[in-house]
Structure 1
């Protein structure tokens, strides 16, 4: 479930709420009790890093296309 950020247009209160994607957005501010909450756009909270990915762990031989492998196709000299 994603964590959504909200900000109240009336009082400026900010909050985070763990909600299902299918859940309706919150509207009532818990601080001032006005129906002025807006859902904010924020960055994703995960990063793809480390081992365990197909490119590094499951491909073999010439099928690997790792950064710094030396050869690149379609590059100009």
Structure 2
């Protein structure tokens, strides 16, 4: 379940709540009781490590493109050198 961060418009208190996607937004501030809670937009953080999909599916594609670009440049250079 995701963790949602809320801020009270009345007292400024910030709190986090674990909620289901289907749960309604919280409205009442647990600190002051005001009905001014607003859900904040928070950036999610995660770290990719190990030999999973990141390494096999994404990381190597950039290396292959750079190698292919280098081969295309060397072929173009050899053609121009032969015509001189």
Give TM-score, length-normalised by structure 1: 0.71
| Counterpart in the other structure of 1:40 | 40
Spell out structure 1 runs of 4+ moving beyond 4 A. none
Per the alignment, do residues 55 and 29 of structure 1 end up closer, same or farther by CA in structure 2, a change over 3 Å counting? same
* Deviation digits for residues 45-68 of structure 1 (CA, Å, limit 9, x no counterpart): 323333121762xx8xxxx97133
Give the length in aligned residue pairs: 69
Contact 2:48–2:54 (Cα < 8 Å) also in 1:
no
| Counterpart in the other structure of 2:50 | 50
Q: Unmatched 5+ residue regions in structure 1?
A: none
Higher Cα Rg, which structure? 2
| Counterpart in the other structure of 1:71 | 67
Give TM-score, length-normalised by structure 2: 0.66
Per the alignment, do residues 72 and 28 of structure 1 end up closer, same or farther by CA in structure 2, a change over 3 Å counting? farther
Q: Unmatched 5+ residue regions in structure 2?
A: 74-84
